[in-house]
Structure 1
Amino acid sequence: MNRIKAALCALTLVATALPAMAADKAKLDERLTDSQNILHEIMATPDKSIPSQILSGANCVVVIPAFKKGAFVVGAQYGQGVATCRTGHGWSAPVFVQLAGGSFGFQIGGQSTDLVLVAMNQNGLQHMLTNKFKIGGDAAASAGPVGRNAQAGTDWKLNAEFLTYSRSKGLFAGIDLDGTVLSQNEDDTRTFYGANIPFKTVLGGGQRTPDDAKPFVGTVAKYFVSSRQ
């Protein structure tokens, strides 16, 4: 009898966990869709978007929809996003990340803000494979230039591992994200794939892109076209 009760309890736990898991997966699908739409909207106005030389040279792209901020308090900013990296055969399946910290509230106002981070070299790519890193500390970063054919200065070409952008109330601009920490969201990534898959495997192209993620990855591939392709 005790064994039957234990089995029934286990089945009940599984049954109650499934809706929660489905809800989590739905939120992740929504995050992918939001990130895809953000890129479409940013690139819809080429003269006010990411310059072509940055699009073609990017190694990884991170999108953080609706980055939330408190009342201009250090550490009050927090957001969840998705990332993909360029591989030898296109763009990788996505992983889920989170961004927290910083003290740049006055730059972007009191509303939620969409953020885009672009890794520009192998050092930036290597940082993406670590558990977490501080922007402006572990990884050199600069506010990204804007405009389809913008003649950006040479500083970012020489020093920046990441270029960072924000979009708030329709205004797209480079932003200084120094002091924020980008970290892997292993729980969300595990929920999405149904297994513990190392970020290095996913971002290196070793994981098939799920159907739910193909629109986001396809959008990145559409705009971030390598000059070598």
Structure 2
Amino acid sequence: MNLLRKLTALAALTMGIAFGPMAPALLTPAQALTQQQELIDKSRITFEKLIGSYEFGELPGYLKRAKAVMIFPDIFKAGFVIGGEGGNGVLMVRDPSQGWSQPAFYTLAAGSVGLQIGGQSSESIFTIMSDKALQAVLNDQMKFGGDMSIAAGPIGKGVGANTTTNLDADVYTFAKTAGLFGGVSFNGAGILRKNDWNAAYYGAGTLPQHIVIDRKVSNPNTKDLVNALSPY
């Protein structure tokens, strides 16, 4: 998707955030499955890229201490008077005895009004460090900032370094960016469940709780992504 198409799509998203809900697009099951599998495959590529990057050398240490992880292969931020950001991603939860769960589908969305012009795309991994933050995601009540603290993960340490810092934030972000904005801030962004995608991919009525906590459902096409996380 080129820059113009992304700006157009995101403008529609942010107008909905700023001025009210928009009618959801209707997808056939075949289309939804294609989009979901593409997101899972892109999430694996993003994870492998960032986990092996010297720039994010402390990410493995944070991940090993995390309750859960969210992977967003493409969060696109754009602004022209009305700004906003959005992107789809997956949530995976680690159980000490069962390892990493199947991925549940989520979306990130935020809107703002101000004098801003530019565009930025980021591949991002969020390490969820507290039970409070994980429950907020599962309950569809996650909004960064305020009671739910978010901080940028450290940059420039050696690959595979063990994390010794006091982890006092609920969520840490590791984001690889390109574009015109100077930095990445997710304060004010909301994380929302994509219940239609979860149901289409795993079966009718499937919620994130069923996927990542109860582990009632699975899809064999998630194997590569789950295997990529298994060492951590």
TM-score bin (small chain) = 0.7 to 0.9
What does the per-residue CA deviation read over 1:64-120, in whole Å, with 9 as the maximum and x for residues that have no partner?
1211222265652111111110123111111100001155x99xx623211211101
1:83/1:153 Cα in 2 relative to 1: closer, same or farther (>3 Å)? Answer: same
Is 1:27 the counterpart of 2:35 in the alignment? yes
CA contact (8 A) 1:132 1:184 kept: no
Partner of 1:69: 77
SS in 1 for 2:176: strand
Stretch of structure 1 that moved more, 141-150 or 79-88: 141-150
SS in 1 for 2:79: coil
1:36/1:82 Cα in 2 relative to 1: closer, same or farther (>3 Å)? Answer: same
Is 1:52 the counterpart of 2:60 in the alignment? yes
- What code does the residue aligned with 1:100 have? A
Q: 1:42-191 counterparts in 2 under 5 A?
A: 42-46=50-54, 48-71=56-79, 76-87=84-95, 88-101=97-110, 110-146=119-155, 147=157, 148=159, 149=161, 153-154=165-166, 157-158=167-168, 160-169=169-178, 175-191=184-200
Query: Normalising by the residue count of structure 1, what TM-score does the alignment of the two structures yield?
Result: 0.76
| Higher normalized strand content (fraction of residues) | 2
Query: Normalising by the residue count of structure 2, what TM-score does the alignment of the two structures yield?
Result: 0.75
What does the per-residue CA deviation read over 1:194-225, in whole Å, with 9 as the maximum and x for residues that have no partner?
21123222111422431111211221223xx2
1-structure distance, mates of 2:127, 2:219: 23
Which has the higher Rg, Structure 1 or Structure 2?
A: 1
- What code does the residue aligned with 1:168 have? T
Match among 186, 208, 226 for residue 217 of structure 1? 226
| Higher normalized helix content (fraction of residues) | 1
- What code does the residue aligned with 2:225 have? F
CA contact (8 A) 1:144 1:165 kept: yes
1-structure distance, mates of 2:85, 2:208: 24
CA contact (8 A) 1:94 1:213 kept: yes
Return 5+ residue gaps in structure 1 as ranges.
1-18
What does the per-residue CA deviation read over 1:147-203, in whole Å, with 9 as the maximum and x for residues that have no partner?
33276643xx13x11111211249xxx943111001111111111112112322211
Partner of 1:8: none
CA contact (8 A) 2:59 2:153 kept: no
SS in 2 for 1:111: strand
- What code does the residue aligned with 1:25 have? L
Return 5+ residue gaps in structure 2 as ranges.
1-26
2-structure distance, mates of 1:78, 1:142: 19
CA contact (8 A) 1:92 1:205 kept: no
Match among 30, 34, 37 for residue 45 of structure 2? 37
- What code does the residue aligned with 2:50 have? I
CA contact (8 A) 1:93 1:202 kept: yes
Count of equivalent residues: 199
* Percent of paired sites with the same residue: 26
- Misfit runs of 4+, over 6 Å: none
